[in-house]
Amino acid sequence: MKKIHVLAVFTTLSLLPIASSFAAWKELGFNEAMVVYVDLDTISVVGEKAQIMSMLDLKKSGVNPKTKQPVNSIIGINEYNCPAVSYRPIEYKEFSGNKGEGTVVSDNKTPDSVFEPVVNESWAAGVFNIVCQRK
């Protein structure tokens, strides 16, 4: 079973640049800084953990600290530990345009990142509620 999950995650990650244009994005919510979208078709559950692809569409351009290039959206796959109410990024890409358009500013693979607590009223909390309540 774990082998199947790893293959599914690898396939999803390798298609991330293509997936942004074909994803079935559902708007989850927004605040003054961003609009949060999720692709419900990418939910993957193994045991107590769940993964999903999400997109943060920024209302005001950010700047990548290393390249100094403008960032207008971020698409990534995050893993949620539902009982521990925590999450960690598996991979994320920053884009120069909104909604995953434009050029890739950075491509970040972080499969060994540490789980962080999900903070109430954050974008991660909204995604957590979707992915962990569906389990």
5 has pLDDT over 70: no
- Model pLDDT for residues 67-91, shown as the tens digit of each residue: 999 999 999 999 999 999 999 999 9
Domains of the chain in sequence order: 2-133 (2.40.128.710)
Range list of H helices, the chain = 2-14, 16-22, 123-133
Q: How far apart are the first and last CA of the chain?
A: 17
Q: How far apart are CA 36 and CA 25, in angstroms?
A: 9
Percent of the chain with pLDDT over 90: 81
What would the two tokens of residue 45 be?
């559950």
Return the pLDDT at 14: 47
Q: How far apart are CA 54 and CA 49, in angstroms?
A: 16
The predicted model scores a pTM of 0.82
